[in-house]
């Protein structure tokens, strides 16, 4: 009887934790989409499939879009390892503000420009390193 009670308790706790994890994952994916990543991924699907014929475009887009679920899950795992569920909720609240929405629309372009600056800087530092390797 004691073992049965222990097993039932374990199953209930496991079910509750799975539900909380599922809710946390759903909220984290919502946050990821709010940051502008969803639009960026949709744009990437279109860009990668630009040579797909018009006759096959709809099927390509549908199949490619299905792959986003796995990508969102992997990215959610990264965020869930770094942020608590309460922090994700705060971030979601921020991205629903006017400033958060503005950041979401500007983030991709800013990141791309910053990467260009970083690449130029890296080349500059590489030239300095070469000077001292001689």
> What total number of domains does the chain contain?
1
In which residue are the tokens 């496991």 written? 14
Distance CA(101)–CA(79), nearest Å, equals 20
In a domain, 22, yes or no: no
Task: Give me the domain span that covers residue 37.
Answer: 27-96
In a domain, 17, yes or no: no
In a domain, 61, yes or no: yes
Distance CA(47)–CA(80), nearest Å, equals 29
Q: Does the pTM exceed 0.85? A: no
pLDDT digits (tens, 9 = 90+) for 54-109: 999 999 999 999 999 999 999 999 999 999 999 999 999 999 999 999 999 998 89
In a domain, 129, yes or no: no
Alpha helices in the chain (DSSP H): 2-34, 37-48, 54-66, 68-82, 85-95, 98-133
Cβ proximity of 93 and 49 under 8 Å: no
């Amino acid at each position: 009887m004691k073992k049965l009670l222990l097993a039932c308790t374990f199953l209930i706790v496991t079910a509750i934790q799975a539900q909380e994890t599922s809710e946390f994952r759903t909220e984290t994916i919502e946050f990821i989409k709010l940051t502008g990543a969803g639009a960026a991924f949709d744009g990437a699907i279109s860009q990668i499939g630009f040579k797909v014929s018009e006759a096959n475009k709809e099927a390509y887009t549908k199949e490619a879009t299905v792959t986003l679920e796995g990508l969102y899950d992997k990215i959610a795992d990264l965020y869930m390892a770094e942020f608590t569920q309460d922090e994700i909720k705060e971030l979601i609240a921020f991205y629903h503000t006017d400033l958060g929405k503005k950041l979401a629309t500007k983030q991709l372009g800013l990141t791309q420009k910053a990467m260009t600056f970083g690449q130029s800087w890296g080349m500059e530092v590489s030239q300095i390193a070469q000077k001292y390797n001689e």
